[in-house]
Amino acid sequence: EGGAKVIKEGTLTVCTHLPYKPFQFPQGGETVGFDVDMMDLVAKKLDLEQEIFDTPFEGIQSGESLNTGKCDIAAAGMTITDERKRVIDFSDPYFDATQALLVKSDASYSSLEDLSGKTIGVQEGTTGEQYAKDNAPDDVEVRSFEDLALLCAAVKTGQIDAGINDNGVLYDYVKENPDTAVATEFDTGEQYGFAVKKDGNDGLLEVTNKVIADAKSDGTYDEIYKKWFGD
């Protein structure tokens, strides 16, 4: 198909950072999720097998993983930003998101101002980390966690007062953890994109964009959405 290039014959190597449920997470010895299903469509289109490479988000968003050839494409619930566009090439947007605030369900925090003097957890290298640094009151301690699971657990156990991450993953978390709640959303107007090496794989990007567009128009996207987010 077209000029799509892959680093390993017969394989679409996909960089992501686990767990990021419901976009990518381990289940029964496999990695599953919304992004995994989308990448399966791309792999199928190219007659390849998807192979997932789990690596810290910091290196995915900085371009390190893609530009040093660790993977062909990144699918990690990753927001398209101008800064990242300088180091990696994004597909068309495939999902809308905003930042949101995770708290214990009995907490009374509903804004960043309410957290004055408290500790907010964020995930390393994410837009949520940047949002907290830019918008939290000066006396808030912003603490970075390596992954989403560690961040959510720290809120649940009361080790920190609140956490900031994307709305989709936090709503998913509170469903299974009713002692936590999403207190508010911050309306950051983000869009997720898949990404390839900078100026390095227009062929793969084209196929990916076509797969996104086709899935949206033929109902496959809605099916995948329902599977992971419900109605």
List interacting residues with ligand ARG (CB under 6 A): 16-17, 20, 57, 76-79, 97, 126-127, 148, 166
Would you state the structure tokens that stand for residue 106, as one six-digit string? 């009995």
Nearer to ligand ARG (CB atom), residue 4 or residue 24: 24
Nearer to ligand ARG (CB atom), residue 55 or residue 180: 55
Residues 6 and 69 sit within 8 Å (Cβ to Cβ): no
Nearer to ligand ARG (CB atom), residue 33 or residue 42: 33
Find residue 182's DSSP bridge partners. 102
User: 128 CB contacts (<8 Å, ≥6 apart)?
Assistant: 99, 122, 164, 165, 166
Nearest Cα to 39, choosing from 229, 230, 224? Answer: 224
Nearer to ligand ARG (CB atom), residue 97 or residue 140: 97
Provide the minimum distance between the beta carbon of 47 and ligand ARG in the complex, in angstroms, as a whole number: 26
User: 141 CB contacts (<8 Å, ≥6 apart)?
Assistant: 118, 119, 120
Nearer to ligand ARG (CB atom), residue 112 or residue 195: 195
Whether omega for the bond prior to residue 178 falls within 30 degrees of 0, making it cis, is no
Provide the minimum distance between the beta carbon of 219 and ligand ARG in the complex, in angstroms, as a whole number: 26
Nearer to ligand ARG (CB atom), residue 4 or residue 34: 34
Please give the Cα distance from 212 to 217 (Å, whole number): 9
Provide the minimum distance between the beta carbon of 108 and ligand ARG in the complex, in angstroms, as a whole number: 27
Give ∠ CA 156-75-65 in degrees, rounded to 5.
100
Residue 122, sorted as left (phi over 0), alpha (psi -120 to 50) or beta, turns out to be beta
Provide the minimum distance between the beta carbon of 21 and ligand ARG in the complex, in angstroms, as a whole number: 10
Dihedral angle over CA of 38, 39, 40, 44, nearest 10: 110
